[in-house]
Amino acid sequence: MPEPHTIALDPRPIAADTIPYTIPVMLSKIAAGFPSPADDYIEGRLDLNEHLILHREATFILRISGWSMRDAGIFDGDEILVDRAIEPADGRIVVAALHGELTVKRLRRQNGVVSLVAENPDFSPIILQEGEECLIWGVVTRVLHKV
């Protein structure tokens, strides 16, 4: 049985006074199928802070440990951006505090039943029982991983 999916408990906040960091954006799109001629034209610059973060004061980076969300493209060692200002909704990937630990799962609310569902068939869903304390800590907005 795989180990439980946990999140390292060292959330790093996104500083409100972060200096814009821009990178060039190329004018042409790149083909993921058949190759296309390369263009050397720069369309403009993209500020990663503006592009990746909606609520700067409420956004944190967390590091993933485990494989329960692998089929959603979240792998062991990845980092996720978590926005605490976004309302959690059915189908969203969330960070939840359950039994004193943080976990990342897909939130499901169906027929009055709330569950946290892994995106890996090796993990069973966590069906929340009445009276069980579970705090949705934030909503995952981006996944950062090395290739």
Q: Which of 28, 36, 105, 115 is catalytic?
A: 105
Active site residue 28: no
How far apart (Å, rounded) are the C-alpha atoms in residues 69 and 145? 13
Q: Which of 29, 36, 65, 68 is catalytic?
A: 68
Active site residue 105: yes
Phi/psi-derived region of residue 56, left when phi > 0, alpha when psi is between -120 and 50, beta in every other case = alpha
How far apart (Å, rounded) are the C-alpha atoms in residues 42 and 76? 34
Phi/psi-derived region of residue 111, left when phi > 0, alpha when psi is between -120 and 50, beta in every other case = left
Q: Which residues are catalytic?
A: 68, 105
